[in-house]
Amino acid sequence: MDALKHHVYGFVFFFCVFYINSMNSNFPEEVRQKRFPRSSQSLNDIFLFLADCLSNQMVSSDASYKILFAVEEIFTNIVKYNATGTTEILLKFSTNGREACIQLIDEDSPYFNPTSRPEPDLTKPIEQKKPGGLGIYLVKELLDGFEYQHDQRTSTTTLRQQLRS
């Protein structure tokens, strides 16, 4: 009976160490990337790529919606406001099992930091509002992380979302 207790305790100890290590890991378990043409016609292929990336994860429907919404918003803005860019948009997806990190990389881009946009005035009647800004605001509000970097005409927008939100 003592041997069985030691075996069970050993298993429980191993499980606890494994679980704690997996919770503290900062290294992505999965990294995938794909380039997409600079066109709104690419959105369906982007959604299929993300669905495939997320299919192996235990992701809540809420987190999945947030990720798809944010990627659609950022990609659409890249296409709309930098339509003359000459490169495809690189989409990188990585996860450590708890958090997804999605990067949209435009390698031919002027500086435009979407994270520094002012918040829209939500109190004004719709007739008095100027178009623009609401999508970025929603991305900021919905996601766990939203960052922007620009270096030598390459802009990188990073989106982070807990998978079980």
How far is it, in rounded angstroms, from Cα 9 to Cα 148?
47
| Least confident range of 18-22, 112-116, 146-150, 155-159 | 18-22
DSSP state of 121: -
Residue 50 lies in a domain: yes
Residue 10 lies in a domain: no
Neighbouring-strand partners of residue 34: 91
**Among 17-26, 52-61, 71-80, which range has the highest average pLDDT?**
71-80
Residue 5 lies in a domain: no
How far is CA 16 from each of CA 9, 22, 109, 162, rounded to the nearest angstrom? 10, 10, 47, 22
Mean pLDDT of the 6-34 span: 50
Whole-prediction pTM:
0.77
Please report how the helices 61-81 and 134-142 are oriented relative to each other, as an axis angle in degrees rounded to 10.
150
Share of the chain above pLDDT 90, in %: 55
The band of 165, judged by pLDDT with boundaries at 50, 70 and 90, is low
Residue 7 lies in a domain: no
Q: Of 89, 25, 26, 101, which Cα lies nearest the Cα of 63? A: 101
Residue 132 lies in a domain: yes
Q: What is the CATH number of the domain that holds 35?
A: 3.30.565.10
Residue appearing with tokens 């999965």: 30
Q: Does the CA dihedral 59-64-67-68 come out positive or negative?
A: positive
150, containing H or E segment: strand 145-151
Query: Looking at per-residue confidence, does 62 or 29 come out higher?
Result: 62
Overall domain count for the chain = 1
DSSP state of 84: T
Query: At 113, which amino acid appears?
Result: N
Residues 92-137 have pLDDT tens digits of: 999 998 999 999 999 999 888 888 877 877 777 878 777 777 889 8
How far is it, in rounded angstroms, from Cα 102 to Cα 93?
5
Q: Does the CA dihedral 42-46-47-49 come out positive or negative?
A: positive
| Least confident range of 5-9, 23-27, 49-53, 122-126 | 5-9
How far is it, in rounded angstroms, from Cα 46 to Cα 55?
14
Residue 102 lies in a domain: yes
Residue 36 lies in a domain: yes
- With contact defined as beta carbons under 8 Å apart, do 150 and 111 qualify? yes
Residue 74 lies in a domain: yes
Above 60 in pLDDT, residue 1?
no
Domain residue limits at 42? 27-162
